[in-house]
Amino acid sequence: MDIVNHMYEIERLTLSPYAFLTENTRGRDYPISPDGLRGEFQRDRDRILHSKSFRRLMHKTQVFLSPEHDHYRTRLTHTLEVNQIANTMAKALRLNTDLCEAIALGHDLGHTPFGHAGERVLRRCFDPSFSHYDQSIRVVEKLEKLNLTWEVRDGIQHHTTGGASTLEGQLILIADHIAFINHDIDDAIRAGIIKQDEIPKPLLDGLGDTHGKRIQTMVSSVINESFDKPFVRMDEETQYLTDRMQEFLFANVYLGSAAKTEESKAENMLETLFRHFEDHPELLPDEYFERVGEEGVARTVCDYISGMTDRYAVNQFNKLFIPESWKG
C-alpha cells in the first residue's frame, strides 16, 4: 500500500484551499529518498524530536530562572503548549497539522540559557542582531544538520517577527503568543509575583478569569475569525485585550519583578563565560574547537554558549572560576 500518497490524497480532499499541501513542499537543501510511511513534514517533526537541541530545552529557562519547584514552565513545556494550541486551531481551520507540529516543536531550538537574559548577553558580546529565531535556523541547518524542508524552516524563522509564507507558519506566531501569555500568568500567580485580583478587571471579563477560559477565548477567536479565510488572526476586540494582557505582564512580571532579580547574575555569568572562551578557544569542546578556523572564534563561542542549558552554564562557570575544596 502506498501510504504516503494516500495521505497526500486525504490532504487534497479534506484540507482548506488555503492550507499548504505537503506534496507541494519546496523540499530540502539535500534531497533524501522517500520514506514510504511518513510525509515530509512528519519526517521533519521526528528529526526535531530526536535532536540534541530539543532535549536540552527541558533545562532552559522560560521565565523563572532555576525554580526550586517542579511546576513552573521550562522552554520544553512551553514548546509543547505551543504545539498543542497550534494543533487545536489548525484542525479546526483545516490547515496542515503536520506542518504546524514540525514548526511548533522546532521554533525555539536556538533559544539561549536563562531565557531572554542569555539573548541579551549574546547581543552585547557577539552581534547586536543576534536572535533566538535566527539561531534556531542555524541549529537546524548547520549545527545539527537536520536538513528540514523549506516550509518548516520558514515557519521557524518567522515565528516571532511574522511574515511566514504559509498560514501554518503564521499560526505558530499566534500560538506562541497565546501559550506564553497564559502560562506566564499562571506561573506568576503560582510564584506570588502577581495576584489574580491585580489583573485589570476588563481583561478578566473579556478574556476569562481562569487559565483555561483565557486560552479558550483566544483560540476560539482565531478559529471564528479565520475559518475558510486566507489569513489567520484574532478578532479586533480579542486581539486588543490580548495585547493589553501582554503589556500587563511586561509591567508586572517581565520587567523589574522579583522573578527577574537573579537575571543580572545570570547575564554576568554568561558574559564571563563568553569572554573566557573567546580568549581561550582551545578550551572549547572538540566539536566546537574544530570549527574555529572556518567560523571564527566569536561565532563559535556564540554557538557554544547559546546551546548551553542553565545548569550546564552554571557548572561550567563553577568549574572555571570557583575554587574546589582541597581533597588532599
Dihedral angle, C-alpha 281, 327, 265, 273, nearest 10 °: 0
Which residues is 141 bridged to in the sheet?
none
> What's residue 256's pLDDT?
72
DSSP, collapsed to helix, strand or coil, labels residue 149 as coil
What is the identity of the amino acid at 37? L
Please list the ranges in the chain whose pLDDT falls under 70.
1, 64-69, 259, 325-328
The DSSP secondary-structure symbol of 199 reads: S
> What's residue 257's pLDDT?
73
What is the identity of the amino acid at 204? L
DSSP, collapsed to helix, strand or coil, labels residue 61 as strand
Q: For residue range 177-211, what is the model confidence (pLDDT) as tens digits? A: 999 999 999 999 998 999 999 999 999 999 999 99
> What's residue 262's pLDDT?
79
Percentage of the chain modeled with pLDDT above 70? 96
Distance CA 243, CA 278 (A): 40
Domain ranges of the chain: 3-24+37-109+144-260, 263-321
> What's residue 72's pLDDT?
87
> What's residue 65's pLDDT?
65
Q: For residue range 65-103, what is the model confidence (pLDDT) as tens digits? A: 665 667 889 999 999 999 999 999 999 999 999 999 999
- Compute φ and ψ for 110, nearest 5 degrees: -95, 10
Distance CA 94, CA 162 (A): 21
Task: Among 1.10.3210.10, 1.10.110.30, 3.40.50.620, 3.10.180.10, name the CATH number for the domain at 3-24+37-109+144-260.
Answer: 1.10.3210.10
Mean pLDDT for the chain overall:
95
